[in-house]
Amino acid sequence: MDPLTHGLASYALKRAAFPRVARPVTLAILLAGTIADLDSLSEYFGPSAFLNWHRTYFHSLFAAFLLALLVSVPFLLSNRRSAGTQTPLLTVFKPALAAAVLHLVMDTCQNEGLELFWPFSARRFALDWVAHLDLWLLAILLAGIFLPMLSGLVTDEIGAKSKGPRGRVGAFLALATMLLYLAVRFAMHHSAMAALQSRTYRGEQPRRVAAFAESSSPFRWHGIVETESALHDVEVDVGPGAGFDAESAVTSYKPESSPALDAARNSAVAQRFLQVARFPRATVEKTPEGFQVLLRDYTPTSGWHVEALIISDPSGKTLSQELIWDPFSRMLH
């Protein structure tokens, strides 16, 4: 998810579950709910650092615990300096941890995998239900936070008294609506996956399929299908009366096996890349020095895209290997 959506979700959580905490604690909740996205700064240190850090260490349950503890430390130090206005550590730590875990739950619902159980497992988790920036989810949170604010201004104007913490009901309804929206996304994703699996593509059965959410509509999905010889890009519409034309898929054929391709796939850089890539595809190009093999991931992601480039001699011996930026994603930044 984008940082704005995470910030709004953290604030809604604060209003709904911890409405009476002090402003410094609110700041700690917002910080805990967004700080994991600092790993995006790894893009400034190159594609290798980005591949190693993005959605990995900071986006784990272990890190959520540590980050919640980190934002609670200033309150612990303040308690030691002042005996008069002490804030119990758990008053800060519990809501901060809740916000940090909410961040992970929301990010798991999208398609950029998270290493949730780092450092115990490098397996990545992604449910593919929502896009990185989901306009409907953003609208739900904005409405749940700002509409009660406007209502509160009207209430103050006519002199009526509020019966509870301001904005709590609106925030609770926003979080409940968010859960309902995710349930709808889950059902739509299931329908899109079923449609992708029920067709043949250029005469071949699907081996693996994935359906990725579009930002603007829960009824439109971006499908990727892997068959024996190719990867297929296709748009999938779900819902009442929706149709699906498998023949409209854009097909990218896999290269034939060769010593250069096999050697490239066994290189250290390729192995690291393939641990992350969900739908990798190789292109092999003959060069005066031998062969150039480029590995790309067809999984749609926001922001930077990393590729693996391996150059070998005519016999397939690796001459160089490196991770590079996809030129198109680099141009957009």
Question: Domains of the chain: which residue ranges?
Answer: 3-181, 185-252, 256-332
What confidence score (pLDDT) does residue 154 get?
Answer: 44
- Mean pLDDT value of segment 101-108: 98
What confidence score (pLDDT) does residue 239 get?
Answer: 84
- Residue, of 3 and 85, whose pLDDT is higher: 3
Helical residues (DSSP H) of 82-127, grouped into ranges: 89-108
pLDDT in tens, 255-284: 998 888 999 999 999 999 999 999 999 999
- The model's pTM: 0.90
**For residues 229 and 254, is the Cβ–Cβ distance under 8 A?**
yes
**What percent of the chain clears pLDDT 90, i.e. is strictly above it?**
72
- Mean pLDDT value of segment 289-306: 89
Helix (H) / strand (E) containing 226: strand 220-226
- Cα 132 from Cα 62, distance rounded (Å): 23
pLDDT in tens, 33-72: 999 999 999 999 999 999 999 999 999 999 999 999 999 9
- Cα 250 from Cα 255, distance rounded (Å): 16
The owner of tokens 């619902």 is: 109
pLDDT in tens, 14-27: 999 999 998 889 99
What confidence score (pLDDT) does residue 157 get?
Answer: 44
- For residue 242, the number of C-alpha atoms closer than 13 Å in the C-beta half-sphere is 15
Q: Check whether 150 has a pLDDT greater than 80.
A: no
